[in-house]
Chains A and B, each alone.
Chain A
């Protein structure tokens, strides 16, 4: 597949592709070095993959020092190394494998979706038969060997450290799983010889080795299947070790566990390796016990991994569960079986794979937490380990099934279940689970689901955490963009990108990397075709920012017809004298100065010397033709407009801003760190009137110019308003010192707003430059002036057809103003400090239309919020920003960009105008067919952004993106990215509330989602009973994420959510990229019971039942940061974190943790800092004590639970979705 896609790219890519396979690699290294050398390390990326492992090994090494753990890791390392060492051939294999996983993982998903099912069964069938049994229960094969040891091993630790153990227990499993994988991998490798052919298909030629093993173990026919199934595992395994370490390491084990489980599942297939197992098992068992106790984190993971093996024995698990549910569990299994009856065994086998996908494991761990406890509880802690196995095994699922017997606990579910069950009493209408679909590989999940039919086991439904962890495990290698139609790793995964002709996913992410060829297909599937573009995204330090290309006086070379810019998709013909546009096929002469000969492959000889011919992202230097009024632009200006009314002064805002600006002005954006920033600054304060300041360097004192004529704003001075910071430093400092004093006694409470922006705009006009306004504002502008507003907050309108009016601006004034601002390149950033309703919906109009940002600090108190505000301000001032930008998206014939979402203004249907565009702003572009696409050429898009840099240079940033086209729906479903789809849906919906009743918007979303899934079920999934819910692998999280969107404050406000908050969020989300929307809608919840340096604990699902009373959790949404402290948390933890031994003494008003000199505290603060660094807005830390009043706020973010405002729980919603789908299907 990939290979085909490659064709579009320069031939080199084609070569590289093969490179994917081992052979390919070599070439790549060789070939790239030359051309790419300049851009980035050549092939190294690939190799890195291998090195990392080695590194990881060493890293682990340390931990290994711990008694037991050491051994485990070693084994790992050894394996990996050994592999490398062992077989020259193999080593590559291992390397190759990692990749395959990347690409393959999708395949598997896809496989499951469509054809896979049949295949899966087969695969599983074969391998499982023997191993299955064990596998199902435990981590698959591995389990068999290690299980026993693990079991015991764990037991001891637990006993020794009860509390810890629980935590541990959870984590271990994951680690185990990981551990096993490696094992399996190792074994697999050996086998390779046998099945190379099959593997090659998937991976390309090289993979065979790895696959081979699988193949060998599995039926040859199943190769594909295998690969699919096996693929995921291998990557996970390999990758996991490192990632898993970090993940599992943390005590929370629970969370990590789930992911682990997946790997385990993957292992199962590999299990055949059992041979290897011995090695493992031996190692692990011993390690597990010893290691556990000593080194909680690392060992736990390792040990955990091992233990799982223990659990495998079905009996063992049962025992664990037993405590609470044992009886039930067992019975359930039996019952479920009945449902599955026919299939049971196969299912069992099937399940594993599915399990992996669905993250069954997590539930197990979750069980331990209080609530679920009854149902899952038992299994959880002790079972945790055991639990894992069960997950994999249908049996476990069954066990839970019985738990589902929850019936009681999930009363609601029954309802949903009702419908589902009705159709297929036996099959619980859960995901892929088909009672009948024995054959389906995914069946594994099924069993668990089945149980749920009455009450669904939350552990049996797709787990976001599982998916995230799986993806992390897969992505050990740099992601290269050379392959068309290749979906990048998830946004939650850390990975490096190598630009080989398509834009990095950091710049562009698509909902589908396989676009349907025809409009009919697209319509049928209802999958939105969209791209989320973040044109000025910041890249990590190890990636090269786009190169700047200067094509000389003539400006960038472009297609004559469609005006697309020179890019890798341009095909040079006639010896290089002309080129054919990849978008419109028009042939254009190559200007003499740009001429270059072609080599024998038809490629220009200088292809690799020119970024525009070999890279996906680069910049052109624009000529004067690209400038406003045909005049090169002036450097931009920053104008600070500070509210100095009573509230602003009293809250301390004025003082803080003035103090901060004194230092912040030294950090204005600049391109060359050596030089002073070219940005000029100006200052205005205002209440009912505006005060401009003359800070000309020649003045001894600043001068204040008051403009009271707010009805007809103008700039009272020209010279001395916008100044160079260095030249006027003394005057500016004097001014900033005096402003707080001057207004210290103010009694003015009224403010204006419209004239403030007008003032800034006029100033920029007068100076004839673009720029940014920083407005610090406190209150509803009720003073007599243009843009005056009245308080219209009316909660009675919520839920009515008039609700939409609350999101619309109150007056048309700001729309007009925004238009003027855009015309001048005047971007507005608004910092709000409201104590009451300020009508964000209206005040935000200008910022939103000009590419600016709105920051809101409700009830601002200097002490508590200063840090957040200042960090936001610093970042906002310093960040990379372009001005007076115009973005245009060009596409190949057949599709076109039809709709745009984000913070910008459009005066026509094609040009996105952004007065300002910073590195955090993303624009979502929707595409529609206007003709047919061809599978051969794929679909190309080129996003060109013309902007003025902060030094006043006019530039064009180009991002190119090519995706595949498909004529089979299955291909579409196999190459989707749910996170991006959610990003699109949320923006689509949040814009919809402007014009439609909120309920209608919600219904639309649900319908479209149901249609997407129904289409898949109808066209891609193997036939199965109607009662079975089958989700495409790539979209299995669509329901849970969509539910989060539906439950968001914007679409379903709680009683305590103000209109301002809703409007604020609505505007905020409209310019978020995928990373931000993901964490916003599905917050990251980290258990903190154990922390390891260098890795994060594996997250747990956002549900209250995953929280342990004895634990401490960190929840992050990108906007909020909570530290949740369980009521019965251990003293040691409290001492480590808060320096206080008692729960009652924790001061919940603290916004930063005390600096304590212990590793735990240091690490925790490191984590918090790193979270903050990742987000574009500073997150204030809120400490939430269990059962404290503030917990209500916190619970709001446990998005898998029912929300206080009436939002459905994940399980309920899934049932609902299932019902919808079934209705569509019938």
Chain B
């Protein structure tokens, strides 16, 4: 018998699923007592190089409200050519094409190793990928130049048949027509005017076909032609677009002293969304928004153009002093929803030293599965490489991205789904397996995930609805099926089906088994997601209190201190950014985010992970901290002095050189795979950037207790935060008193 550890890893490797409990309490009452709900992290498009897709349609249960897919858990009567649905117990005949089926000739979907299987289906004409660049021109010359280069470079990464479009904006919004020869044409919109989708399409001349259609002329060709003016195959307009990008100028309107440039981000997005809505609804498309500052005019304005009015801070928000916040948020949410309905995702690449309004705009990406990348400048490798990585390809040479995903969850009768947390929106599909008890985005059994990449991970929360007095028969298994339909980056439509089953256990008699099936990491992440989800919509302290009431483990100490729940020291934009990534990364990455990893390099042995504690900060060590967003290399005091003295350059100190090199190599390895690129920081004892490390470690030594402890080890942290020790003490006290 394998250990749960192995079981869990095996399941994760095969199905991309991590459950908080791997044995399920068989009654509602018992499940509630466990505090951590039955829930899972699911990575729908987990990369499976070993899983070749099959080229036929899945077989569906014929019950109208079930439609579960034939899977290895189904009972099959090979002679009668009948299979029984394991969710609704409907008996279904196999379709004619399965006539040859027998016990020795089973289709793949019936084999246990194919609990996850992918179908390629033929539905409609293949839709091209669409990339619509929405570029802010209110940038510094240097930034704009870097951005232009990145964009030009990206053209070479796109598949030749992908459609590209370009919208630039500043005070005005320009939609560039790419098809014309000679004169470069663009349609211009005023940056202050909120336009409906219909108006935008009319103004872009996209509704014309309708008019001529009345004359009985076919729509299709014109439709295509019309949209083609703005969205053209890369191969056709490559040169044109490169030139066009090259000629892009900074926004020419003068910016008076003491003002911000007028940036019509809201209208630009509205035009982009409207354009795609009108031309390619329900086709995979990415709107890629590049901004160098906050929207300062028109709908979606985040801050006025007066420089003397700073952009809102958490303080302002808490004081209800952010005038544009609600309006802008509402505006972008509406836009995100429209975009999501059509299956278009929106990426935000924000590079500026100040905030850019991510707080208001985050939903654009959160709801549509888009990326958010935050940096200081477009002229940094952080942006350049991250952007390049968006277009990374898998082992088949296909983009690591999929579009227009619809994820459906089916459960066996004892379970109902409460909700999902991740880059998705509800499709409001009520069904028998939908719980009234909402956790995350609930009330539905289907979610739309406009853009999915292999690491996109959603948290699903379930509820055991089996009543205590109707026990599940011994050995009974509960089943959950995830059906993900999506548009593959090679334009194929695919369906991936993952069916998993877990045993039911009676909590009273088998409590130890259940306990041992607990997946601490998964539970931690899942609970953290719940916390973040709440933090987004509720007051910070309430969330903490809620969290405290829940089961608390070690990591909770770090979670409480993390930027996902704490806004102190973070701008609203940063908080949004961190949370955005937290709810979509897979378990490993999520854990890193909650509790950064700290490696220590020294002459005393190979690199070793050390406690995230101030006591780990020693003069003769090099520390490598990975917080997911930052990668910090910290040279201890002594090491730093040595390095300054140039020992590494001396032949006799070859070892020192190697020591210095080791963390760099490891960091490079992480940088290679991480998306988005973490901020890479190389610092030393006393360096200003050392704050990144000091703010993360457990303040076991602070200025308050340093002398009391009187120890030489570690570095004191100047903070009033409680240390883990204090926290634990407090917890224990609480636990006793509460039980009392």
Contacts and interface: CB of A to CB of B under 8 A. Distances in A.
A708 B205 contact: yes
Contacts of A505: none
B204 A704 contact: no
Contacts of B184: 701, 703-704
A735 B183 contact: yes
Contact of A706 (B187, B195, B254): B187
Interface string B179-197: 0001111111110010100
Contact of A714 (B190, B199, B204, B254): B190
A716 B172 contact: yes
B253 A718 contact: yes
A1160 interface: no
A689 interface: yes
Interface string A831-864: 0000000000000000000000000000000000
B252 interface: yes
B252 A707 contact: no
Nearest to B187: A706
A687 to B, nearest CB: 11
B197 to A, nearest CB: 14
A709 B253 contact: no
B253 A716 contact: no
Given A717-B252, A718-B252, A709 B189 contact: yes
B190 A712 contact: yes
B342 interface: no
A401 interface: no
Contacts, number: 64
B467 to A, nearest CB: 62
Given A689-B203, A708-B202, A718-B252, A703 B186 contact: yes
A708 B193 CA distance: 13
Interface of B is mostly: mixed
Contacts of A704: 183-186
Instruction: Give 4 nearest A-B pairs by CB, closest first.
Output: A708-B203, A716-B188, A719-B252, A706-B187
B174 A701 contact: no
A63 B193 CA distance: 78
Most buried by A among B185, B186, B190, B195: B186
Contact of B195 (A702, A709, A714, A738): A709
A55 interface: no
A742 interface: yes
Nearest to B195: A709
Interface string A798-824: 000000000000000000000000000
Contacts of A717: 172, 188, 252
Which of under 10, 10 to 19, 20 to 34, or 35 or more describes the interface residues of B?
20 to 34
B186 A702 contact: no
A900 interface: no
B629 to A, nearest CB: 40
A719 B253 CA distance: 8
A692 interface: yes
A705 interface: yes
A255 B182 CA distance: 62
19 contacts: A701-B182, A703-B183, A703-B184, A704-B183, A704-B184, A705-B185, A706-B187, A707-B187, A707-B188, A708-B189, A708-B205, A714-B190, A716-B172, A716-B174, A716-B188, A717-B188, A717-B252, A718-B253, A720-B252
Interface in A681-722: 689, 691-693, 699, 701-709, 712, 714, 716-720
B189 to A, nearest CB: 6
Contacts of B185: 691, 703-706
Contacts of B188: 692, 705-707, 716-717
B187 A708 contact: yes
Contacts of A709: 189-190, 193, 195, 199, 203
A748 to B, nearest CB: 9
A701 B247 CA distance: 11
Interface of B: 172, 174, 177, 182-190, 193, 195, 199, 202-205, 247, 252-254
Contacts of B254: 718
A699 B243 CA distance: 12
Contacts of B195: 709
Contacts of A718: 252-254
A742 B184 CA distance: 12
Contacts of B186: 703-706
Contacts of B205: 689, 708
Contacts of A705: 174, 185-188
A699 B249 CA distance: 11
A701 B189 contact: no
Interface string A1189-1207: 0000000000000000000
B128 to A, nearest CB: 25
Contacts of B247: 699
A719 B170 CA distance: 14
A705 B185 CA distance: 6
A706 B177 CA distance: 10
Nearest to A719: B252
Counting chain B CB atoms within 10 Å of each CB, the highest count among A692, A705, A738 belongs to A705
A702 B193 CA distance: 27
A706 B188 CA distance: 5
Nearest to A688: B205
Contacts of B252: 717-720
A705 B182 CA distance: 14
A712 B204 contact: no
A702 B203 contact: no
A709 B190 CA distance: 8
Contacts of B193: 709, 712
Contacts of B199: 709
A1170 B247 CA distance: 52
A1112 to B, nearest CB: 51
A708 B199 CA distance: 9
Contacts of A691: 185
Given A692-B188, A712-B190, A741-B182, 18 more contacts: A689-B203, A701-B182, A702-B183, A703-B184, A703-B186, A704-B186, A705-B187, A706-B185, A706-B187, A707-B189, A708-B189, A708-B204, A708-B205, A709-B199, A709-B203, A717-B252, A718-B252, A718-B254
A546 B88 CA distance: 102
A706 B202 CA distance: 13
B225 to A, nearest CB: 13
Of B185, B187, B199, B253, which is in contact with the most chain A CB atoms at under 10 Å from its CB? B187
Nearest to B182: A738
Nearest to A714: B190
A783 to B, nearest CB: 11
Nearest to B202: A708
B575 to A, nearest CB: 36
Contacts of A738: 182-183
Contacts of A706: 177, 185-188
Residue of B174, B177, B188, B190 with most partner-chain A CB within 10 A: B188
A716 B202 CA distance: 18
Task: Report which residue of B177, B190, B193, B199 has the largest number of chain A beta carbons within 10 angstroms of its beta carbon.
Answer: B190
Nearest to B175: A706
B204 to A, nearest CB: 7
Nearest to A693: B183
Contacts of A692: 188
A741 B185 CA distance: 14
Nearest to B205: A708
A716 B203 CA distance: 14
A735 B185 CA distance: 12
A172 B184 CA distance: 71
Interface in A704-755: 704-709, 712, 714, 716-720, 735, 738, 741-742
B31 to A, nearest CB: 57
A199 to B, nearest CB: 75
Contacts of B190: 709, 712, 714
Contacts of B204: 708
A995 B627 CA distance: 81
A692 B203 CA distance: 15
A699 B247 CA distance: 9
A703 B180 CA distance: 11
